[in-house]
Structure 1
């Protein structure tokens, strides 16, 4: 087997790194739900969302202030849960803020594994039985995945 020069090996390593960086930057996407102080705006980046990526969810907890309260130790007695579904299919859920039964829950994100319409909405519940919703005036927030 012929021995490769260090210069060739370095060039090959740089090419692999650049390819990996380009691929990871193409798979970065997000959906942002801003606070009332920011005008309640909702935006996807990029728009439409790219199929195969994972959308990071940036949710302002100031959007759902109902159903709040802390336990005696100061821990939250409430949880904000995000829900989503593709093309009116099965509903999936993820933790957003507040109490979590899982230590160190993952950051909120949605894998964009289906082409079509992505519907997203949020629910705040408390241990005292309160329930509140964040949707677009009763309709879920809709995004296109291509």
Structure 2
């Protein structure tokens, strides 16, 4: 694990809020030169602290007004491999995330749909027909606040 100093942590907090900022702009805010800031970012990437950059799209703005979290319990453990289920579920375009979890359910899925009837279609025709799919619990997202994470 890489040792992070206060400047590294401040740099990470700034990048979490807006990863498109230039090294020069970040450096000005942190009291560093552009080359020093760039070297720190490069070191954070090479060490694996910064694992990548991701574009966040507003699902509602592109016509997907409903987000549902599904808990999925596999019905036939041992008869269907986890890899088969994961391969099949990740092929469904409406499924944004697939998380293998410990607890009441085996998987937690984040699913987007145009509306509730579209979600019902995805659930009935795609998710419930997955290999090994058993019990499912749905939780409709009402609102969401983004937390930047455990960077102190």
**TM-score bracket for the superposition, by shorter chain length:** under 0.3
* TM-score computed with the length of structure 2 as normaliser: 0.25
Name the one with the larger helix percent: 2
Name the one with the larger strand percent: 1
* TM-score computed with the length of structure 1 as normaliser: 0.25
